[in-house]
Chain A
Amino acid sequence: MADTRKGRKMKHIISALVQNKPGVLAHVAGMFAARAFNIDSLAVGRTDDPQMSRMTIVVIGDDKVVEQVRKQLAKIVDVVKIQDFSGKEVIARDLMLICVHLPPEKRSEILALAELFKAEVVDIGQKVVMIEFAGPEEKIEAFIEACRPYGIKNMVRTGTIAMAKFNQANGSESQ
């Protein structure tokens, strides 16, 4: 039957438990490139088990693309478990460090802005302030926009990490 599934391109969060071995990140990244999947962000870190790492991947695509991403990830031998958070309630967070220009006359204004967002000032230089901010993506984006008029000197983000909320059957799925 002709493929009639129509999908909207949107962001999907996929979490992959992988073996902590050399080459796994290259394998995952290479697979995304080879199959022309579009990665929005990729965050990797250790887990409580030293032999396992967790990758959180944000992919842009329709349902069909995300289904293929999930299956192709599952096919990689060192990938142990995949969770697709599409359509699930999740807690998703991003961590950002942002450096904003800090002219003396704007100093109190910028610091008040940070406080308003519950962001933390982690370093202050002569003409610049470094602010740490963690939160859901919309808040991060809002904070960036709020900082933009003062002049963003530099910024770095970890990419999204996420977990499913408890009050639902989570979408975990083993291969």
Chain B
Amino acid sequence: MKEKPSKGASARSSSNLPIKLGSEIIVDTLIEQGVDTMFGYLGGVVLPLFDKLYDAPINFIIPRHEQGGAHMADGYARASGKVGCVVATSGPGACNLTTGIANAMMDSVPMVAITGQVRTSLIGNDAFQEADTTGITRPITKHNMIVKDVKDLQPAIREAFFIAKTGRPGPVLVDIPVDIEVTQCQMTPFNGVDLPGYKPKAKGHHRQISMAAEAINKSEKPVLYVGGGVISANASDELRAFALKANLPVTMTLLGLGAYDQTRPESLDMLGMHGTAYANYAVQECDLMIAVGARFDDRVTGKVKTFAPHAKIIHIDVDPSSISKNISADIPVVGDAKYILTELTKEVQSRARKEWFSKIADWKKRFPLRYDTKSPNIKPQYVIEQIWEATKDRAIIVTGVGQHQMWAGQFYKHTRPRHFITSGGLGTMGFGLPAAIGAQVAKPDALVIDIDGDSSFNMTMGEICTAVQYELPVKVCIINNGCMGMVRQWQQLFYGKRYSKSSLQNPEFAAVAEAFGAVGITVDKKSEVKSAIDKMLKEKRPCVVDFKVEREENVWPMVPAGKSLEEMDGLDIFESMA
């Protein structure tokens, strides 16, 4: 391996760049890498860095807890498509970031986390606020490194950004001991990065693309199965052109929602455990499945052995390790979705597939998503439907994790990429509010609504204070059923209605919001739902609306864990409501 030019002694001595402190180098390199917004929390070993951030041209948001900071960087990255950047101190600061980092890892979100570390001479001594940050975060980052020589500082930060945003995006952590921050070093020019072990593939193999096109052209009953990878690749336009030209029905994973306009007739909406019946039936009957930027998660496949039993599988993904991990692919295509979809569109032909589409139309007619619209109680689905009616496709919807998240996936029509932000892979309760704050920072003029659960909201609601401090007008709609709804649903269905520990006492959320300096609204009558939403939308300040919904509502349909997709429960309930 050749020495990197940026690290070479000759490159250093020949450059006329100034000598600066490590802390200044960090700030300058972040700006060089395009950072204009950061999230993070102070602490002892990052004080030199924060001293340089004092007058840096970076919009800095301080959360109330480092986990919130990591989720904010995550929400910021998903809403903007840029790399989210978060800073924390050593020890507890770094440990508190871990949930947010793991969340970004599972959902392939580009993020750079910078953590302070105790000085190099103390590492391994159990020093005050010392934790083995790179050790702790190794399995939950795409890559991490500790900088033990100030000469490596600038290359490390540049590599971090390159790795975070290329290939399958993900979080990268750079751990920087405090003595490195206060040591001087000459700056080096940016000539790109050279990582011999990291060469993400951008273009797909042309022979594989042609094979895929041929299979699509032959298929009578295809299904296009779209994941979050299409959104990370900014390939929604290409996806639409491809689906329309080849005439394909489109289903999406939870993270794929927004990649394809759900108001279009060929959308089958979400598939999987809480997917629509028509999506799951189509998957089980299709003769060809075209997976793009999706990873055949167990919440999508149900029982792997009986998943899409008649289908040939085309799997397009930028990460080779996603291919044939859970489901063997017949035609793997490794590369960037934007490139491959463009190439594929050139080679596919349109086919009517009348029989297939009429079968799908029939399923759609027989098994639409339903709930009891006549109920006098506030049904959670009703609230979400009303939010959709009031905002149509102008809102960025963010969620917590649980029943409300599934209903937000089902009953809000997602039409545009980067407008549905949710914790899919890790399923992190408490993600909603901080991620919404991050999204609002990225899109100051957008309408950002966090559809949250009462238990999820409880976990990170201190961040309301952050929204108030930075005048970020996020809207929080709490689907408040007074319990951990999804846990309660599983206990009802699979644990004989033994509701073990799934009920917590909530505060009056509206009063809490007011105490934080936000607007609080409580809704306990169905007739007040619409007006409360209107009031919320007119509000210029952060606003929390507490919808007291029916406690015992369940998310249907449901494929019980480990069952085949066609073994959905709840369709009889739908039919009884028809």
Tell me, yes or no, whether A binds B: yes
Interface set, chain A 65-124, CB cutoff 8 A to B: 67-68, 71-72, 74-81
Taken together as a complex, chains A and B put the C-alpha atoms of A80 and B325 apart, in Å, by 22
The reply on A18 being an interface residue by CB < 8 A is: yes
Taken together as a complex, chains A and B put the C-alpha atoms of A78 and B138 apart, in Å, by 12
Contacts of B306 in A (CB 8 A): 2
Contacts of B196 in A (CB 8 A): 19, 80
Q: Which of A1, A3, A27, A74 contacts B138 (CB 8 A)?
A: A27
Q: Which residue of chain B has the shortest Cβ distance to A34 in the bound complex?
A: B139
Q: Which of the candidate stretches B51-59, B316-324, B479-487 sits at the interface with the other chain?
A: B316-324
The reply on A171 being an interface residue by CB < 8 A is: no
The reply on A138 being an interface residue by CB < 8 A is: no
Taken together as a complex, chains A and B put the C-alpha atoms of A30 and B137 apart, in Å, by 11
The reply on A60 being an interface residue by CB < 8 A is: no
Q: Which of the candidate stretches B258-266, B307-315, B345-353 sits at the interface with the other chain?
A: B307-315
B321:A71 contact, CB within 8 angstroms: yes
Contacts of B135 in A (CB 8 A): 26
The reply on B538 being an interface residue by CB < 8 A is: no
Which residue, A3, A49, A81, A174, has most C-beta atoms of chain B within 10 A? A3
Q: Which residue of chain A has the shortest Cβ distance to B132 in the bound complex?
A: A26
Taken together as a complex, chains A and B put the C-alpha atoms of A79 and B134 apart, in Å, by 17
Q: Which of A23, A52, A75 contacts B319 (CB 8 A)?
A: A75
The reply on A175 being an interface residue by CB < 8 A is: yes
Interface set, chain B 148-171, CB cutoff 8 A to A: 163
B195:A77 contact, CB within 8 angstroms: yes
Interface set, chain A 19-65, CB cutoff 8 A to B: 19, 22-23, 26-27, 30-31, 34, 49, 51-52, 64
The reply on A127 being an interface residue by CB < 8 A is: no
Nearest CB in chain B: distance from A39 CB, A:
16
Which residue, B311, B321, B327, B330, has most C-beta atoms of chain A within 10 A? B321
A3:B327 contact, CB within 8 angstroms: yes
A3:B1 contact, CB within 8 angstroms: no
Taken together as a complex, chains A and B put the C-alpha atoms of A147 and B532 apart, in Å, by 84
The reply on A8 being an interface residue by CB < 8 A is: no
B327:A71 contact, CB within 8 angstroms: no
B328:A5 contact, CB within 8 angstroms: yes
Which residue, B1, B145, B313, B323, has most C-beta atoms of chain A within 10 A? B1
Taken together as a complex, chains A and B put the C-alpha atoms of A79 and B196 apart, in Å, by 8
The reply on B501 being an interface residue by CB < 8 A is: no
Q: Which residue of chain A has the shortest Cβ distance to B328 in the bound complex?
A: A3
Interface set, chain B 174-209, CB cutoff 8 A to A: 195-199
Report if A30-B138 is in contact (Cβ < 8 Å); known contacts: A1-B313, A2-B307, A71-B320.
Answer: yes
Report if A2-B197 is in contact (Cβ < 8 Å); known contacts: A23-B138, A52-B1.
Answer: no
Q: Which of A22, A64, A72 contacts B321 (CB 8 A)?
A: A72
Taken together as a complex, chains A and B put the C-alpha atoms of A80 and B143 apart, in Å, by 14
Taken together as a complex, chains A and B put the C-alpha atoms of A30 and B196 apart, in Å, by 21
Interface residues of B, dominant DSSP: loop
The reply on B304 being an interface residue by CB < 8 A is: yes
Q: Which residue of chain A has the shortest Cβ distance to B1 in the bound complex?
A: A51
Contacts of A2 in B (CB 8 A): 304-307, 309
Report if A77-B324 is in contact (Cβ < 8 Å); known contacts: A1-B308, A26-B135, A34-B139.
Answer: no
Taken together as a complex, chains A and B put the C-alpha atoms of A19 and B307 apart, in Å, by 40
Which residue, A1, A18, A76, A174, has most C-beta atoms of chain B within 10 A? A1
Contacts of B145 in A (CB 8 A): 23
What 0/1 readout, one digit per residue, does chain B (121-157) give for beta carbons within 8 Å of chain A? 0000000000000110011001111100000000000
A1:B311 contact, CB within 8 angstroms: yes
Contacts of A18 in B (CB 8 A): 197
Taken together as a complex, chains A and B put the C-alpha atoms of A67 and B311 apart, in Å, by 22
Contacts of A51 in B (CB 8 A): 1
Nearest CB in chain A: distance from B141 CB, A:
10
Q: Which of B143, B305, B307, B328 contacts A77 (CB 8 A)?
A: B143
Can you show 24 pairs from A to B with CB atoms below 8 A apart? Answer: A1-B312, A1-B327, A1-B330, A2-B304, A2-B309, A3-B305, A3-B328, A4-B328, A5-B328, A23-B134, A23-B138, A23-B144, A26-B135, A34-B139, A49-B1, A64-B328, A67-B324, A71-B320, A71-B323, A74-B320, A74-B321, A77-B142, A80-B197, A81-B197
Taking Cβ atoms with an 8 Å cutoff, the residues of B that contact A are: 1, 134-135, 138-139, 142-146, 163, 195-199, 304-313, 319-321, 323-325, 327-328, 330
Taking Cβ atoms with an 8 Å cutoff, the residues of A that contact B are: 1-5, 18-19, 22-23, 26-27, 30-31, 34, 49, 51-52, 64, 67-68, 71-72, 74-81, 174-175
Taking A68-B321, A77-B195, A79-B197 as known contacts, 7 extra A-B pairs with beta carbons closer than 8 A to each other, sorted by chain A number, are A1-B308, A2-B304, A19-B196, A19-B197, A22-B146, A77-B197, A175-B199
